[in-house]
Structure 1
Amino acid sequence: MTARDEARALVQRMQECFNTRQFDQAADLHTPGFVSHPLGATGFEAGRDAWREVVALFPGMRVVAQDILVDGDKVAVRSSVEGITTPDGGAQPTLIEIFRIEDGRLAEMWGITEGPDPREQTLINRS
């Protein structure tokens, strides 16, 4: 297996941990000093807590990689989001994430969500 194949498989394992709700197993895929730039946090714990929060709101939520591009120690992923309610039945959000890999583990992540943020709509509907 090439380094490119290993990087792709690492991201797919991380998404599978999310989709099967095996959050604790995902911790092994991240370095101890993992940095999530969107969360402004170091360590996987903040990411795990965010995962738990979002699936509490959307129990059927899944992420599915549409594109995985590898360049050196970076992996860019475009993923569709399935199983959530969107305003007026609109398009599902898309995740764009870039990971830096170090020693076969996820060390750093940058990301954005394109499209409606379902968490905001849920909070509006609860008001």
Structure 2
Amino acid sequence: MTTRDEAKTLVHRMQECFNTRRFDQAADLHTPDFFSHPLGSTGFEAGRDAWRTLVARFPDVRVVAQDILVDGDKVAVRSSVEGIAAPDGVAPPTLIEIFRISDGRFAEAWGITEGPDPRLG
């Protein structure tokens, strides 16, 4: 079972890798057979490519965890997405992700974006 502190540290490390554009370092935070349900892919390579695409489109984008909830080997994270202009009167995007952790690394992920989808902007 993952402790709350271990899970929070793992989430913060991943977000730090994204926010500082050290995408290759984030691979160490994921198991070799990591599965992303939103991307429908195994391994972290597709996630790293998605991060690079997003940053190329929105160079100032960053994510900041607002809530981290832990239950057994699952971690739910609600993050604000900064650096993406939202239309007037529309809240900026919020990222909601659930991760399964195995041996101190991300093993599986689910996620949705609430608000304007930065991939469509």
Q: TM-score range by the shorter chain?
A: over 0.9
Q: CA RMSD in A?
A: 1.2
Amino acid at match of 2:39: L
| Higher radius of gyration, 1 or 2 | 1
- Distance in 1 separating the partners of 2:63 and 2:80: 6
Counterpart Cα distance in 1 of 2:57 and 2:68:
27
TM-score of the pair, normalised by structure 2? 0.95
Alignment of 1:1-127 (within 5 A): 3-88=3-88, 90-121=90-121
Residue aligned with 1:63, SS:
strand
Identity of aligned residues (%): 82
User: Is the contact between residue 85 and residue 118 of structure 1 (CA under 8 Å) also seen in structure 2?
Assistant: no
Q: For the Cα contact (< 8 Å) 1:86–1:116, is it kept in 2?
A: yes
* Alpha-carbon distance, 1:29 to partner: 0.2
2:118 is matched by which residue type in structure 1?
P
Q: Normalising by structure 1, what TM-score?
A: 0.91
Aligned length: 120
Give the deviation of 1:48 after TM superposition: 0.1
**1:86 aligns to what SS in structure 2?**
coil
- In the TM superposition, what is the alpha-carbon distance from 1:89 to its structure 2 partner? 6.3
Per-residue deviation at 1:83?
A: 0.5
Contact between 2:35 and 2:43, CA under 8 Å: does it hold in 1?
Answer: yes
Gaps of 5+ in 1: 122-127
Structure with higher helix content: 1
CA drift of 1:118 comes to: 2.5
Q: Which stretches in structure 2 are left out of the alignment for 5+ residues? A: none
Once the two structures are overlaid, the 10-residue window that deviates more, 20-29 or 3-12, is 3-12
Deviation at 1:91, TM superposition (A): 1.4
